Structure 1
Amino acid sequence: MTAINVETAPRPRTGAPRRQSGTLAGRLTGGLLVKLLIAVIIIAEIYPMFWILTNSFKTKSEIVDEPLWSLPGGLQWHNYVDAWTTGSLGHYALNSLIVTVPSLILILLLGAAAGFALEVMVWKGRNAVLFLIVGGMMVPLQMVLLPLFTIYFNLNISDSYLPLIITYVGHGLPLTVFMMATYFRAVPRELFEALAIEGGGPFRAFFSIGLPLIRNGLFTIGLLQFFSVWNDLLIALTFNVDSKLSTIQVGLLHFSDEYGSVDYGPLFAAISITVFGTLAVYLILNQQVMRGLTAGSVKG
């Protein structure tokens, strides 16, 4: 009989399955942590809006005495009526529109024209000018509020919408010019050269070729600037001398009586109208915004 050498018999490999199981366990753990992190972020983003919305339907006693996570005992729709009428939310919204629309038109018109001149037209020093304009984004807004207030006061234009419009335009132009130059960079130069051969001037090139081809970017920048101006509190609070000229964000600070007591129901209703109104606008125009954000990333 032949003896079998036990020491030289092949041994089953057990290391590989252990490594595979360890790798699989690591992937499952990593995937679970990612999902948990996403869930925490979603809750942190959604719950404050849910809390504001539910409080807008509560009475003042429910808001003060009940826990934060409690639901309203009934739908107090009169909070929205009081916010719009007694709280003058409609008047503040009109003031915001009066300030936002002219500011937006000037920002887009001047920004698009400057972007076209800096990117499409050829002249000496354009890169230095673009660098200076982009440098304007590095200046903190808080540093220029006091000098601007002094200038507006000496010009006797404090009791008007002009200080807000001028400040919003100056604050929004650097980013707009930079983005518009990026969008114009993606437009094929052959189109402008063909128009120049036919005798077209810069104004025709700007309005006939430039603006139609960057309309998605123009729309996106316009929407971003609209949200920036509409949701601003710092500038509006600094230059609003007359309370009758208060914008909607400043108007939310006026939801209190002569003794300083805040009527929380109408206040939360006003906040809900402001927040969910702008959110609805973004959700409706979301696809257009996404196309505009990627329009300047690929040339041609």
Structure 2
Amino acid sequence: MKKIRKILLYLLMTIILAVQIYPIFWIFMTSLKTTDEIQSKSTFALPATFNLQNYVRAIETSNLGLYFKNSILVLFITIVALVLFSSTAAFALEKMKFRINQGILSFFLLGITIPIHVTLIPLFQVYRDTHLLNTYWALIVPQIGFNLPLSIYLFITFYKFIPNTIMEAAAIDGASIWRIFSYIMLPMSKNCIITVVTMNSIFIWNEFVFANTFISDSNLKTIPIGLFDYIGAKGMVDWGATFSAISIFLLPVLIVYFLLNKGIIAGMTTGAVKE
């Protein structure tokens, strides 16, 4: 009976893995097909040859390099700000006890419950009045605001399992609060930082709603918006170049995730087992 359960579990895991991986595999395979293969052959057919001409066309017919630069710039500034703000806020809320810290924490966590879409019109009006439309800040500020609550919560969960005696020993040796945070707490939070960076990087890299609402200048478009370049006259789509551009778009996310995979799991499971 136990052996049958194990086989069924492995079978279920294999099915889930196939469902998750196949769309990505299909995108990469389609990007290598010729136009005739895409139009005439079965969707599930493998490419006859590895045709890299689609990738050349994707780069030549679009400002893909510019969109990459915009996405990386927005991602870098947002991630640095998120790690800085969430780690310091969580440190203050968890380790520097004061009367209203639970109220402030509840206020931050309330942000998790607010749907992004209900803020689009108010944010658009604010950005219009403050002349922030068609600027990088129109993408960076809301990304920080909406991703901050969960990032703070992850850091607080991690800080709970760092003994206060470490801080007390450092304070006795004359270390200031800032030195305790910078030289003790932050280095110990490596796995949590990796989790926050990776989790938010995927959301920010794939973000479409804010970019589509607040950016109309072609020079400031990010990759998700830039993919519209492959829609030609009368809605005709160059599918080969489109799938090639999507493949290029997916590669950084996949590389970052697989490189930091162990750190993400360690950060997410911190405190799950109490020794």
| Alignment of 1:266 onto 2:235 | no
Q: Is the 8 A contact 1:186 1:298 kept in 2?
A: no
Tell me the residue number matched to 2:116.
Answer: 141
Post-superposition offset of 1:75: 2.0
Number of equivalent positions? 275
C-alpha change, 1:173 and 1:241, in structure 2 (3 Å) is same
Question: In 2, distance between residues paired with 1:140 and 1:214?
Answer: 29
The residue type equivalent to 1:48 in the other structure is P
Q: Is the 8 A contact 2:86 2:152 kept in 1?
A: yes
| Structure 1, 166-175 or 239-248: larger mean CA deviation | 239-248
| Alignment of 1:229 onto 2:204 | yes
Tell me the residue number matched to 2:185.
Answer: 210
The residue type equivalent to 1:129 in the other structure is I
1:157-179 residue CA offsets vs partner (Å, 9 max, x unmatched) = 10211110001110111011111
1:171-206 residue CA offsets vs partner (Å, 9 max, x unmatched) = 111011111111111111011111222332211111
Q: Is the 8 A contact 1:92 1:248 kept in 2?
A: yes
- 2:37 aligns with one of 62, 66, 81: 62
Q: In the TM superposition, what are the counterparts of 1:117-266 in structure 2 within 5 Å?
A: 117-266=92-241
Long gaps (5+) in structure 1: 1-23
Q: Is the 8 A contact 2:71 2:222 kept in 1?
A: yes
Question: In 2, distance between residues paired with 1:245 and 1:45?
Answer: 32
Instruction: Give secondary structure in 1 for the equivalent of 2:235.
Output: coil
Q: In the TM superposition, what are the counterparts of 1:13-52 in structure 2 within 5 Å?
A: 24=1, 30-52=5-27
Q: Is the 8 A contact 1:55 1:268 kept in 2?
A: yes
Q: Is the 8 A contact 2:81 2:144 kept in 1?
A: yes
TM-score (norm 1): 0.86
C-alpha change, 1:34 and 1:187, in structure 2 (3 Å) is closer
| Structure 1, 119-128 or 234-243: larger mean CA deviation | 234-243
Tell me the residue number matched to 1:77.
Answer: 52
Q: Which has the larger radius of gyration?
A: 1
Question: In 2, distance between residues paired with 1:179 and 1:50?
Answer: 32
Instruction: Give secondary structure in 2 for the equivalent of 1:191.
Output: helix
Question: In 2, distance between residues paired with 1:58 and 1:131?
Answer: 52
TM-score (norm 2): 0.93
Q: Is the 8 A contact 1:119 1:181 kept in 2?
A: yes
Question: In 2, distance between residues paired with 1:43 and 1:298?
Answer: 30
Question: In 2, distance between residues paired with 1:180 and 1:287?
Answer: 18
Question: In 2, distance between residues paired with 1:30 and 1:198?
Answer: 56
CA RMSD of aligned residues (A): 1.8
| Alignment of 1:89 onto 2:64 | yes
Post-superposition offset of 1:132: 1.1
1:26-47 residue CA offsets vs partner (Å, 9 max, x unmatched) = x565455434433322221222
Post-superposition offset of 1:153: 0.7
| Alignment of 1:282 onto 2:257 | yes
The residue type equivalent to 2:253 in the other structure is T
Question: In 1, distance between residues paired with 2:33 and 2:225?
Answer: 23
The residue type equivalent to 1:130 in the other structure is L
Q: Is the 8 A contact 1:188 1:299 kept in 2?
A: no
Instruction: Give secondary structure in 2 for the equivalent of 1:280.
Output: helix
| Structure 1, 274-283 or 245-254: larger mean CA deviation | 274-283
Tell me the residue number matched to 2:89.
Answer: 114
Instruction: Give secondary structure in 2 for the equivalent of 1:124.
Output: coil
Q: Is the 8 A contact 1:158 1:239 kept in 2?
A: yes
Instruction: Give secondary structure in 2 for the equivalent of 1:249.
Output: helix
Question: In 2, distance between residues paired with 1:127 and 1:91?
Answer: 44
C-alpha change, 1:218 and 1:296, in structure 2 (3 Å) is farther
C-alpha change, 1:129 and 1:198, in structure 2 (3 Å) is same
